[in-house]
Amino acid sequence: MAQYKAPLRDMQFVMHEMLDVEKHYQSIPAFAETNRELVDSVLDATAQFAENELSPINQSGDEEGCTWNDGVVTTPKGFKEAYAKFVELGFGALAAPVAYGGQGLPPSLGIAVSEMTGTANWSWGMYPGLSHGAINTLEAHGTEEQKQVYLTKLIEGTWTGTMCLTESHAGSDLGTIRTKAEPQADGSYKVSGTKIFISAGEHDMAENIVHIVLARLPDAPKGTKGISLFIVPKFLPDGTRNGVVCGSIEHKMGIKASATCVMNFDGATGFLIGPPNKGLNCMFTFMNTARVGTALQGVCAAEGSFQGALTYARERLAMRSLSGPKNPEKEADPIIVHPAVRNMLLTQKAFAEGGRALVFWLSTFTDIVHGAESEEARKTADDLMSFLTPIAKAFLTEAGYEAANHGVQVYGGHGFIREWGMEQIVRDTRIACLYEGTTEIQSLDLLGRKVLQTQGAMLRNFTKLVHKFCQANEGNAAMAEFTGPLTALNKEWGDLTMRIGMKAMQNPDEAGAAAVDYMYFSGYVTLGYLWAWMAKVAQDKIAAGTTEEAFYKAKIQTAQFYFKKILPRTRSHVEVIDSGLETLMAVDAEHFAF
């Protein structure tokens, strides 16, 4: 199995050369002291931890999995020790508020840390990953007392967090949840119900687990307007064991070393977060954090599978190049010389590096929302995040899954065998297209809530950025191969949206029929913008003179590959969208026979 190697050079390219994060941080008073030296030291330390502590227990963790015994969950060998080291190094507290024990560094730097830990060992990374969402929710909506009791321990890392939404009958339809919360005389609540698919719901890595739970008050209105949010800890602050128990763990396709739990709340003591019946609004803080984290999993899958496939393609000898031997002293050529293999490798590379740019860029808006003094700046950043998050979550997880499958294919039969680790990436990343809102739900959110319900305002916020970029490079002949197609697609995006909107006015199901293909179109164009941006940065570096010309040349060539071989996929999605609803609904339900 190929061991993970942190892509530090590319991460530095995105953060320093493309996004200029030092200047970005200096523009936000809360993060003004975060300079390049500090950023690079965090990246270096995380790389060493991910490569030396997490990568070596990735495959063994998958093979061993978690075990459940009478409510107690034991994680695989090495997981608990790695978490203790993670806490000792202060990684969990990195982007948390100083007032509660954090280091106060920018959220975007925390995203870079999460990429490395996630690619090295995604199952392990889910344990601290869920805590980040709990921290953000408590920071935004908790009382001062709740912050002092729970937030400090979560930031310290001695406690971990979860989010408990799903119930067996409800799935993504949270309006139908049945978990109840009964008010008590002391101001607490007794929470009763069962939640399923709770990542890190029970484990042996931390002293306590803080569950963030959706439940209904006795007088709550029906639907999503009647949901409240509660803190329900495994151990109460006085050390008493609370009435919450893990009933079982799921036996899953992938992420086997991450405990996915059934959690039973039996009159468990809970504490209200935020206003009554406004729990879903508060929970969106957690959910949006989790969605960006899940988008990052797509990047992790693409990067991990690319690293494994590239190593193998350079070493594996099979057949001769059609244009003549490239390795005449050997009995065959390395498979990297074959165009079909090159196509898979470049697709992985384009999705990994393009996805990294998207998530890192998206995370800089999180910095602004958290730390900017200007309300206008925060609002602009929040609107862009709202628009881009469903694209990032849905598109990058699907792209990551495609890249993972290419990794297996490059290996051929060896890719299907466990020892090489490529099939594990496929199994692990498959869930990313499902949790935190499936691809289909994210697509509906994008087209319905973020575009049509805003009369296209959120879309225009983004397409204006693309238009300004293309306009600024209008006279640059070297950029024409990127700005030409991008300009046309950017205009088509608005036209396509208008056509869908007109149909949806006659029949709302037209939006449902178009949504997934609209998401793919949006994703390909968004990554096209980022690849054009990266190509411009690389061109400027070469023009200025550099000792790393090969690195920047490869960046431009990957952008060219993306524009020539990947971006044309938008044509098929446009055709499917324009074909409309009719053929989807023509077959009566009873005629889906077998």
- Residue with tokens 């569950």, as numbered in its chain: 211
Partner residues linked to 199 by β-bridges: 260
> Rounded to 5 degrees, what are φ and ψ at 510?
-60, -35
Specify whether 436 is catalytic.
yes
**Which tokens belong to 400?**
């990551």
* Closest listed residue to residue 359, CA positions, set 407, 309, 400, 310: 400
Rounded to whole angstroms, the Cα distance separating 40 from 223 reads 47
- CA-to-CA separations, 565 to 350, 532, 559, 571, in angstroms, rounded: 10, 14, 10, 12
Distance CA 39, CA 60 (A): 31
Residue 335: φ, ψ to 5°: -65, -10
C-beta atoms surrounding 543 within 10 Å: 10
Phi/psi for 588 (5° steps) reads -65, 150
Beta bridge partners of 271: 231
First to last CA, the chain: 42
Q: Which residues touch 98 (CB under 8 Å, ≥6 apart)?
A: 104
CA distance 7 to 425: 18
For the record, the structure tokens of 225 come out as 């307007």
Instruction: Report the chain's C-alpha Rg in angstroms.
Output: 24
* E strand residue ranges, 76-206: 159-164, 180-183, 189-199
Active-site residue (options: 436, 510, 549, 582) = 436
Type of residue at 484: G
In whole angstroms, give the CA distance from residue 339 to residue 250: 41
Cβ contact 162:211 at 8 Å: yes
CA angle 340, 341, 346 (to 5 degrees): 100
Joined together, the tokens standing for residue 525 give 């164009």
> Going along 465-570, which residue ranges are E strands?
none
Q: Which residues contact 339 (CB under 8 A, 6 or more apart)?
A: none
Total number of residues shown for the chain:
594
Q: Decide: 317 and 327 in contact? Cβ < 8 Å.
A: yes
- With the C-alpha atoms ordered 115, 116, 122, 128, is the resulting torsion angle positive or negative? negative
Q: How far apart are CA 3 and CA 6, in angstroms?
A: 10
**Residue 324: burial class (beta carbons within 10 Å; 0-12, 13-18, 19+):** exposed
Per-residue CA distances from 57 to 87, 154, 158 (Å): 18, 24, 22
**Where in the sequence numbering do the catalytic residues fall?**
436
